[in-house]
Amino acid sequence: MSIVVDHVNFIYGADTEHSVHALKDVCLNISDGEFIGVIGHTGSGKSTLMQHLNGLLKASSGSIYFNGQDIYDKDYKLKDLRLKVGLVFQYPEHQLFETDVFSDIKFGPMNQGLTKKEAELRAYEALRMVDFPEEFYYASPFELSGGQKRRAAIAGVLAMNPEVLILDEPTAGLDPKGRFEILDQIKKLQTERHMTIILVSHSMEDVAEYVDRIVVMNNGEVFADGSPREIFGYVKELEAIGLSAPQIGYIARNLRRAGFALPDGIITVSEAADAIMEILG
Amino acid sequence: MDLIKARDVLFEYIRRDDEGNVEGITTALDHVSLDVKQGDFVCILGHNGSGKSTLAKHINALLYPEEGSIWVDGINTRDDEKILEVRRRAGMVFQNPDNQIIGQVVEEDVGFGPENLGVPTSEIWERVEESLKAVGMYEYREFSPNKLSGGQKQRVSIAGVLAMHPKCIVLDEPTAMLDPKGRKEVVRAVRGLNQVEGVTVILITHYMEETVHADKIFVMDKGKVVMQGPPKDIFSQVEALKELRLDVPQVTLLAYELKKRGLDLPDGILTVDEMVDELKKLKGI
């Protein structure tokens, strides 16, 4: 059970003068239950790659295998793939359209052909998964706060029961506490429900804190692939492609330069505090 | 001199049902008073729904106070006849650059504002040039905006406001949709406007790192200004900020953690260099 991306190329507007080579020979192996962060500057190919994973875009060349099956095989039903790989777009609350939250969430499963009762059960479970406050189940989406809208929109995708959840910047525009709450919920989906999570993010701090593995995209290519510790060790290289390390990484680096014998690979505040106390405590 | 002065400002969003009966009232600004000095760089922090954006919209008269008053450069925003004067003095930049850029070519977009104000053509071009230079986008003047990155587009939006020669720019989460490089570009451009051009800046953001160089920070909660002061004072109150659903920069959080574990560090460490210097002192090097 996994996703294999095998030498995928994608060219936007292939037959036109303005063709853009958006993905270049991308190879990735995503195993079940992983929590992967995808980082890269705007236009690096992150979103294009994500749209390949659930079949919204078709590779110009190369193959993608989902659970061992070639998704470009003519017998393969892309509709099934889209149920198994849920995609939460940027600012997903713009896609809430029903008059109340509960109807909005059950729309997906109803559309999938489930009975009303089954769909409602799914909607209920999905709202519980994101810890959505019960008193707002029948509220209009307009009455919700930013964080609540975001949760409702994520629940809409979870109600389809996906095995893989892809989130494109799920915390953009949320206040810090709202951000941590959503990320904690997403982490729980991985640890408690064994979902595979792919998180596209511009926040290096969040990625350092939450994911197990980072894929760095640059100019349509996979620039690096490894654990947060490995990836954020390459500060110079990341800066050269428009990214950065978490602020704490810079503190650790400057302290090392000043003669503190800190270990390599410090990427969170608590790790830094522990290491500094070892020396000064 | 105070460029912006708010006294006891009250603003409510009123929800009505189909018959027009009042269903609920949300007090977005609850008797807010504040002063922003000419030439200052101030930041407004607060969780989603705390009233930051509502306040911002009051500063350039997109919304008016129901009670209380706001003066921009001495003009009361309630004075209907002077509304254009207010908007000319206080420009706004919003979160999503794609919703703000209208021109087919960068310089055309930046020229739209002054043209609309009736500035003579020759002067428009001067203003376009100086504004694009101020945000570091002059080399892109003949580009189509849709060929630009998010950070570049947002800098074009800022140049568009700057070309109207405002006394103050209000930026409502201008970096929320940008990657780290775009964020740095925009923050650098905004600081430049303030320090080099002397424009008063009011920056609303959720990124605490962007506020450490501000002259003053206002923290909002439930429509009220609950904390105000220089960054050092604000960020030394880690617990209070957390209760307000906010955060502190990682370096400040590290200082807080180390103090809790017994290290003798001063309050309000805000930058990497300050942190390294203080720890060097403790180590005796």
Q: Which residue blocks in chain B are alpha helix, DSSP H?
A: 52-59, 83-89, 106-116, 121-134, 150-162, 180-195, 231-235, 238-243, 250-260, 272-283
Mean pLDDT of chain A: 92
Nearest-CA distance from A20 to chain B in Å?
Answer: 12
* pLDDT digits 0-9 by tens, B18-60: 788 887 888 999 999 999 999 999 999 998 888 999 999 999 8
Rg (CA), chain B: 21
Interface test with A, best of B179, B205, B208, B285 (most A CBs within 10 A): B179
* Interchain contact, A277 vs B263, CB within 8 Å: yes
Class for the domain spanning B38-64+75-230: alpha beta
**Does pLDDT of A1 surpass 80?**
no
| Contacts A–B by Cβ distance under 8 A | 120
Q: How far apart are CA A225 and CA A217, in angstroms?
A: 9
List the pLDDT tens digit at each of the 285 positions of chain B.
799 999 999 999 887 877 888 878 889 999 999 999 999 999 999 988 889 999 999 998 999 999 999 999 999 999 989 998 999 899 999 888 888 888 889 999 999 989 988 899 999 999 999 999 999 999 999 999 888 888 899 999 999 999 999 999 999 999 988 888 888 989 999 999 899 889 999 999 998 889 999 999 999 999 999 999 999 999 999 999 999 989 888 999 999 999 999 999 998 899 999 999 999 999 887
Nearest-CA distance from A178 to chain B in Å?
Answer: 7
* pLDDT digits 0-9 by tens, A229-272: 999 989 899 999 989 999 999 999 999 999 999 998 899 999 99
pTM for this prediction: 0.85
Task: Tell the burial category of B260 from Cβ atoms under 10 Å away from its Cβ (0-12, 13-18, 19+).
Answer: exposed
In chain A, % of residues over pLDDT 90: 72
Query: What local confidence, expressed as pLDDT, does residue B22 receive?
Result: 84
Cβ distance B193 to B165 under 8 Å? Answer: no
* pLDDT digits 0-9 by tens, A129-188: 888 999 899 998 888 877 888 889 999 999 999 999 999 999 888 888 888 989 999 999
The predicted model gives A109-122 an average pLDDT of: 93
Q: What are the structural domain ranges in chain B?
A: 38-64+75-230
**Does pLDDT of A95 surpass 90?**
no
Query: What local confidence, expressed as pLDDT, does residue B141 receive?
Result: 93
Of A173, A204, A276, the CB nearest to B258: A276
Query: What local confidence, expressed as pLDDT, does residue A32 receive?
Result: 95
Point out which residues pair with B224 in neighbouring strands: B221
Cβ distance B166 to B199 under 8 Å? Answer: yes
Question: b or e along A174-190 (b: 16 or more beta carbons within 10 Å of the residue's beta carbon)?
Answer: bbbbbbbbbbebbbebb
Q: How far apart are CA B213 and CA B94, in angstroms?
A: 21
Residue B133 makes CB contacts below 8 A (sequence gap 6+) with none
The predicted model gives A4-30 an average pLDDT of: 92
